[in-house]
Structure 1
Amino acid sequence: MMSTDQRDFAQVKTTELFITRQGWFKREYELTDGQFVYAKLRYRSNFKRDAIIELPQNSWTIKRKGWFNRTLLLNLGEDDTIGNIIPETWKRDFNLKLDDGFEATYLYKKLFSKSLVLTNGQLGDIFQITQKAFSIKQPFTVTIDLITKPDNMPPLPLLIMIGLHVILLRQQQAASQ
């Protein structure tokens, strides 16, 4: 039985986690190890693209910077902007730039890959999110590559859920073309 309350990520004992989808029609996802929930991603409504990421300590909102702007704003709470998520023009990559100086890139290493990797210049690969074919309840697995987390790095569940949002955005864009 899955617990609905969230647990602190410092208590994770494994390097492989799952992202589960909650309900058939609700766009809600949970980061879990099969027993505990560490983060949630949900959308304000089916038509509004604002994503809300919830961790036990805080919540963040991802919004579009402007009507015709592709850059996404990462806000602590509702309106306190702490960084940008910038899509590359001719690639599938997204660059994450936080105001505290942390920078990383969400990228697909191979052309037809189903794995999104978060990589950083100093740390290397931090984690990868792999899409599982034909899996509706647990559509994604997360493999954490980072051994030790530096102090200036944002919470890992936040970075994972931003990556999930990037994947879902790409799927939405592909379906609309």
Structure 2
Amino acid sequence: MNDLRDINLLKTSELFVTRHKWFSPYFELTDGQFIYARMRYKGYWKRYAIIETADNTWTIKMKGWFNRSLLLNQGEDQTIGTITPSNWKRDIKVQTDNGFEATYQYKKLFSKTLTLRNDQFGDIMQLVQRVWGFKKPFEVKIEPQHLKNNLPLPLPLLAFIGINIVLIRQARAAAAAAS
């Protein structure tokens, strides 16, 4: 039984992400009453993320051991796009096969807010990282004109792509600090 609610029924523009479990966590995108999407990891090193929405399942896989790019798949193995970090900036570009391109970027130098921006749609959403938020580590603020889901990719998928990027960067920074 699918307990996820369709994102088209969303009435508010502010959501948050809840974290469940400590050692093998999974994350849920919720407004406090309904759950709109869920993300969990398969494997120990967070190289394989599974995102479930009300109507589809998506996976994000590392392209290779020494490659920084990620593959965006619909289902298990139907590749529909790539997620590529910039070389000298903190920007991350999402490109899909249907022509949709968007960029996750930090607008300020020491900001904890990751903004998803597209040339055609403008600012789509902001992912705000909470400093001491262990149970609720992220807030998702969707621009009101995009609530009717006129985008080629669903809003929960775009939110969890950004959250996955932040979690991968946190894991890499922790590994670098430990060595």
For the aligned pair, the TM-score class normalised by the smaller chain equals: over 0.9
Aligned 8 A contact 1:15 1:145 in 2: yes
Gaps spanning 5+ residues in structure 2: where?
A: none
Q: Structure 1 CA distance, aligned partners of 2:149 and 2:135?
A: 33
The 10-residue stretch of structure 1 (142-151 or 47-56) with the greater mean CA deviation from structure 2: 142-151
Query: Structure 1: how far apart are the matches of 2:149 and 2:75?
Result: 23
Alpha-carbon displacement from aligned partner over 1:115-139 (angstroms, at most 9, x marks no partner): 1110001111100010111111111
**What secondary structure, in the 3-state scheme, does the structure 2 residue paired with 1:161 have?**
helix
Q: For the residues of structure 1 that align with 2:30 and 2:76, how far apart are their CA atoms?
A: 25
Q: Which residue of 1 aligns with 2:20?
A: 22
Q: Percent identity?
A: 56
Q: TM-score, normalised by structure 2?
A: 0.92
Aligned to 2:102: 104
Partners of 1:135 and 1:23 in 2: CA distance: 14
Letter in 2 for 1:147: Q
TM-score by length of 1: 0.93
Asked whether the equivalents of residues 8 and 149 of structure 2 are also in contact (C-alpha less than 8 Å), the reply is no
Q: How far has the Cα of 1:93 moved from its partner?
A: 1.0
Alignment of 1:1-150 (within 5 A): 5-148=3-146
Tell me how far 1:46 sits from its aligned partner: 2.5
Q: Is residue 170 from structure 1 mapped to residue 164 from structure 2 by the alignment?
A: no
Measure how far apart 1:69 and its partner are: 1.3
SS of aligned partner of 1:7: coil
Runs of 4+ that moved beyond 3 A: 148-152
* DSSP-derived class of the 1:176 partner: helix
Tell me the secondary structure at the aligned position of residue 145 of structure 2: coil
On the 8 A contact 1:27/1:46 being kept in 2, the answer is no
Letter of the 1:165 partner, please give it. Answer: N
Unaligned runs of 5+ in 1: none
Contact 2:72 2:79 in 1 (8 A): yes
User: Which shifted more, 6-15 or 39-48?
Assistant: 39-48
Superposed CA RMSD in Å reads 1.4
Instruction: Say how many residue pairs are matched.
Output: 174
